[in-house]
Structure 1
Amino acid sequence: MREESRINLAELCYATGKLILDRMSVFWKNGSDDLANEIGYSTIALVLGIKNKELNMVVTKQELLGNSDFLEELLTCILNVFDEVNSEFATFLKLPGKNEKNYESKNATQFQLLSFFGTIFNLRYTVDSASCKIKQRENVKDKIKEVKEYLKLHYIYDIVQNYWSGSGDTKLDNVVIENNKRYSRYIAKEEFEEAISRWNDEQLDRRSVNFESIAKLIYRAPLKTYEKRYNRLKIS
């Protein structure tokens, strides 16, 4: 007799993570197996409403994830949203040069990127575990467009403030699971400039001669629409 097949949760999360890394070339180019595992587990948890600090609870959803129709639809939705995130930042963070696609993205953290994903996923879909259904929300196009623009501001704003260092898993849960609407908030020009000014003062105090990666990000992202002038700057 053929044995009953059962889903291997570890393999599922790893495979999911590998597929995600392939979609997120702006940030996770050539990601490791360990990263694939971490991203896979965290992503599955987030879309099922499980806190990142409670990843062990993913195993309680094994029967749900064993529903092949539900799982196929869930993975399709997950990858579509990661495609959206990657596409949104591809032009914003692309470095000069036509031969290879390189990006000023090394300062992004795992939790920050997962918070971007989780925010857009929750705006676009609802997951009903009881009925094994995934529903697409209606009338959210304008809201998602607005949030995507705010993500770019928060990307730089949070990096210069070192927001995602320390308790990143708790902050991720607050954004995605608790829905604190972090990325629904517009950052005013004055607030944004003040954050960059504070960061700049901190760098001057360090007396470093290195043109470090956050400085490159600050210069490149706002200048990306001014390509001719941008190329003349020859920032390396």
Structure 2
Amino acid sequence: MNDENPLVTTDLADGVLTITLDAPETGNALDLAMTDALAGALEDAGNTPDAHCVLLRSSGRHFCTGGNVKDMARGADLMAGTTTDIQDRLRLGLHRITHALRNLEVPSVAAVNGAAVGAGFDLALMCDVRIAARSARFAESFLRLGLVSGIGGAWFLTRVVGLAKAMELTLTSEFISAETAAELRIVSRVVDDDRLAAEAADLARTIAAQPPHALRMAKRLVRESAESGLPSALELAAAMQAILLSGDEHRTTVKQFLENRR
């Protein structure tokens, strides 16, 4: 599959659905058009049976620079109209991205190059795994513009770095390097810029190669275990394990494992 969109491209190969933000002239800013294009691509990803991992990447120098500041200055785009208009536009626009990524049954990987700023930082945080180029920079920078995150950043950032550090990053709007992001466990690895595309693709292919039914359950189990108490996590683990142990996928995978050992 190779479906083209003026702002977003998608490609499915080896079980990996690669979604590329392709508006380098704006820093892949999340204006109305980009928001609609990205939300549509992510929603389609959730309905693509052959996609076992989603790789989110960008063309150009930056991952995503968040809202378009020039539009903000004009009072255009997301900012146009009354308070109610803006709330509705957020729910029907940016929040589509949040829900689509959160509801993905398959794992998602973000390959962060250049700047991931404001809503762009939040977009990366929504993915299950993040890998960064050494030149990547991150900032929860809304206060620089007299705003707060309207796409869910406060929820995601707190769960990644903890309350105190989320407060610091939010209230200072400071930029942090890829290395600092790795220390804070915002990204799982940092690679040389010229290796980002290959390393992210390899990681996504490795994930996509896992048994698909178990892969989806594993993602759900890790996520829900992180947000529940131990008794609930154990009950969910037992239910999932029972389903998998009695299924054909498990038996086939075990047979292949033993054959490969021989």
TM-score range for the pair, normalised by the shorter chain length: under 0.3
TM-score, length basis structure 1 = 0.28
TM-score, length basis structure 2 = 0.26
Query: Which has the bigger relative contact order, CA under 8 A and spacing at least 6?
Result: 1
